[in-house]
Amino acid sequence: GAGVSQSPRYKVAKRGQDVALRCDPISGHVSLFWYQQALGQGPEFLTYFQNEAQLDKSGLPSDRFFAERPEGSVSTLKIQRTQQEDSAVYLCASSFGPNEKLFFGSGTQLSVL
Amino acid sequence: QKEVEQNSGPLSVPEGAIASLNCTYSDRGSQSFFWYRQYSGKSPELIMSIYSNGDKEDGRFTAQLNKASQYVSLLIRDSQPSDSATYLCAVSGNNRLAFGKGNQVVVIP
């Protein structure tokens, strides 16, 4: 597609619910990143894929967070048993390579009540 | 120490003036440097990239890089109300971009 597409745009979850956030990167971009952005802060790295391989998941805050990119294109970030501290904007970005300029999707704003 | 530091608070500049933003980084091995603009409620969009020491100009924007001092800056000339946004500094390293917390710029008409 023309840009990085994320869905849903907004997600409200009750504490303890599982959520799944989807990202469709720019066609041809092998690198895909998930970032978490809290209000008033810069994006914080969560995880990185090169094609279907998850090469770095060191930024995932707990084992409740899980990401996959099974066919090297669309990626899903799953958060199990959501907590209030998970409330943030989740940004997906793609690029031609890990240290290249990133193109961001519009983000998913997650609110956990 | 955070990887990328942007410490100054909100910056208010009159329309037509120059806005100056600074950023320092900790990884001496970093090779790629970027400035992103983020409007409220929107995602970051790339406005400048710089890879070698010195200045790089693109329209009203100038990025400056000093690897010895581990310092990147952004100048916005002839500031316009549409430049009011948060500006994020991003630095490459460890197969990712690390971002600063951003600097808010408010251009006053």
The position carrying tokens 């952004």 is: B74
- pLDDT value at position B8? 74
B45/A104 touch (CB, cutoff 8 Å), yes or no: yes
Residue A89: C-alpha distances to residues B22, B38, B91 (Å): 25, 13, 21
Question: Are the C-beta atoms of A27 and A43 separated by less than 8 Å?
Answer: no
Query: What is the Cα–Cα distance from B50 to B43, expressed in whole angstroms?
Result: 21
Nearest CA in chain A to B92: A99
Q: Which amino acid is at B44?
A: P
All residues of chain B having their beta carbon less than 8 Å from the beta carbon of residue A33 are 96-97
**DSSP code, position B81:** G
Q: Phi and psi for A94 in degrees, rounded to 5?
A: -135, 160
Q: Is A25 on the interface with B (CB under 8 A)?
A: no
Neighbour count for residue A71 (Cβ, 10 Å)? 9
Among B35, B56, B31, B53, smallest CA distance to B44 is for B35
Q: Which of A101, A108, A109 to mutate to test the interface with B (most CBs of B within 10 A)?
A: A101
Q: Examine the pLDDT at A1 and tell me if it is beyond 60.
A: no
* CA of B70 vs chain A CAs: smallest distance (Å): 17
Residue A63: closest CA among A85, A84, A78, A43: A78
- pLDDT of A14-70, one tens digit each? 999 999 999 999 999 999 999 999 999 999 999 999 999 999 999 999 999 999 999
Would you call B27 an interface residue with chain A, using a CB distance cutoff of 8 Å? Answer: no
Extract the tokens encoding A62. 């707990």
Give me the pLDDT at residue B1, please: 62
Give counts: helices (H), strands (E), chain A: 0, 11
- With beta carbons under 8 A apart, name residues in chain B contacting A99: 31-32, 92-93, 95-97
- pLDDT tens for chain B, 109 residues long, are 679 999 877 999 999 999 999 999 999 999 999 999 999 999 999 999 999 999 999 999 999 999 999 999 999 999 999 999 999 999 998 888 999 999 999 999 9
Per-residue pLDDT, B95: 85
Return the pLDDT at A13: 97
